[in-house]
Amino acid sequence: MSVLVYTENWDGKFKKLSYELVSYASAVAGMIGGSVTALSIGNVQQDELSKLGAYGATSVLNVDGAPEGLDNQVYTSIIAAAMEKTGAKVLVMAQNNTGKAIAPRLSVRLKAGLAAGVTALPESANPLVVLKKVFSGKAFAKVKILSDSAVLTLAQNSFEIAETGGSASVESFDPGVDVAGAKTTIKDVQKQEGKLLLSDAEVVISGGRGMKSSDNWGPIEELAEVLEAATACSRPVSDEGWRPHEEHTGQTGKIIAPNLYFAFGISGAIQHLAGVSSSKCIVAVNTDKDAPIFEAADYGIVGDALKVLPELITEIKAARAQ
């Protein structure tokens, strides 16, 4: 029995998420027995590929050619071919856009039960039982896999990276898949270069309707700059067009789990909390002492966000200068 982990790359680079996945895969392999193979698709340099070894992968399969953009069918075929080659019984992927797009297809292709958004190591190896979030984080469920093989997508930031100090052999792998046969055609790509992604940020500064107007976002952006943080918002804020819709967190927006989440002028509606309640530490600033956000927060200030923000920036700068 072995584990295959699909490690996506971003312009040829891995990131924290990739190492979380390999660490998780190697812990799962420790439970069910066997080794971890990582699969990489697209152009990634040799030294970047071998980094995966430090987190427990013993080998890396490298598929050089990939279609431009994600074609769900082509990627499914490549990953299925790697599962066949390695004889792996468990496939680990990220619960991100890519994972959500192809893990269900792989579940059908491989006849492997899918548990999406897994948050911890399996409770048991045989049968495989894993914990995942349900009801947008209001509860957890133990999912039992009834099939021989399994596809697990790991919720971001839910597993600590563990360096094993090992090393991985890198092998180039030809999955025998017709990359040119991609059915989806990319017509146009718009990317915001150089901006820290909300899903990657350790610290997130978020504003709600209590910020009153889009003109008041200056201090939020300044605090984000000081803390190397990403900016976010509640849904009404993006609906009003005060902020771009990519920034909206919550049940219908992005689900994030940073180390630190600041909520300025956000009431803390259950649908908002669904996207942020997994943050390690939540700080809330709200004029209403009874706002539900204070039930979810770790630290709170009852006060005007527009006054607290500049003071906070000053105090953080002062503390940093020491």
Partner 1 sequence: MHIIVCISNVPDTTTKVKFSSENTSFDDSGVQWIINPWDELALTRAMELKEDTSNAVSNVTVVTVGPAGAEPTLRKALAIGADDAIRVDSETGDAHFVAAQLASVIKNGEFDVILCGIESSDYNGSAVGGMVSEMLDIPSVSAISGLRIDNGEVLITRDIDGGREEVSVPAPFVGVVQKGIAKEPRIAAMRGIMMARKKPLQVVPVVEAEKLTTYQEYVMPEPKAPCKMIEADNVKELVNLLQNEAKVL
- Residues that bind ligand FAD in the complex, under the rule CB under 6 A: 208-210, 234-237, 248, 250-253, 265-267, 269, 271-272, 275, 285-288, 291, 304-306
Closer residue to ligand FAD (CB): 87 or 310:
310
Q: Return the residue of 129, 161, 162, 179 that touches partner 1, per CB under 8 A.
A: 129
Whether residue 286 contacts residue 307, with contact meaning beta carbons closer than 8 Å, is answered with: no
Q: Which residues pair with 233 in a beta bridge?
A: 207, 248
128-162 burial string, b = 16+ CB within 10 Å, else e? bebbbbeebbeeeeebebeeebbbbbbbbbbbeee
Q: Which does 133 bind (CB under 5 to 8 A by kind): ligand FAD, partner 1, none?
A: partner 1
Least distance from partner 1 to the Cβ atom of residue 164, Å: 25
- Separation in Å, CA 83 to CA 1, 136, 274: 11, 31, 34
Q: Which stretch binds partner 1 (CB under 8 A): 58-66, 125-133, 161-169, 209-217?
A: 125-133
Q: How far is the CB of 189 from partner 1 (least distance, A)?
A: 5
- Residue 7 sits in the site that holds partner 1 (CB under 8 A): no
Q: Check residue 72 for interaction with partner 1 (CB under 8 A).
A: yes
* 160 binding partner 1? (CB under 8 A): no
Question: Distance between CA atoms of 168 and 31, rounded to whole angstroms?
Answer: 20
CB of 201 closer than 8 Å to CB of 91: no
Q: Between residues 56 and 300, which has the closer beta carbon with respect to partner 1?
A: 300
- Binding site partner of 266, from partner 1, ligand FAD, none, Cβ cut-off 5-8 A by kind: ligand FAD
Residue 56 phi, psi (nearest 5)? 120, -5
Are 140 and 126 a contacting pair, CB within 8 Å?
no
Closer Cβ to partner 1, 191 or 215, answer by number: 191
Where does residue 216 rank: exposed (0-12), middle (13-18), buried (19+ CB within 10 A)? middle
Is residue 185 involved in binding partner 1 (CB under 8 A)?
yes
Which of ligand FAD, partner 1, none lies near 144, with the C-beta cut-off 5 to 8 A by kind?
A: partner 1
Q: Which residue has the tokens 């919550």?
A: 250
For residues 128 and 1, what is the distance between their CA atoms, to the nearest angstrom?
13
Of 169, 214, 280, 288, the one binding partner 1 (CB under 8 A) is 280
Member of 103, 205, 220, 273 binding partner 1 (CB under 8 A): 103
Task: Please say which residue, 125 or 302, places its beta carbon nearer to partner 1.
Answer: 302
The DSSP output letter for 181 is: G
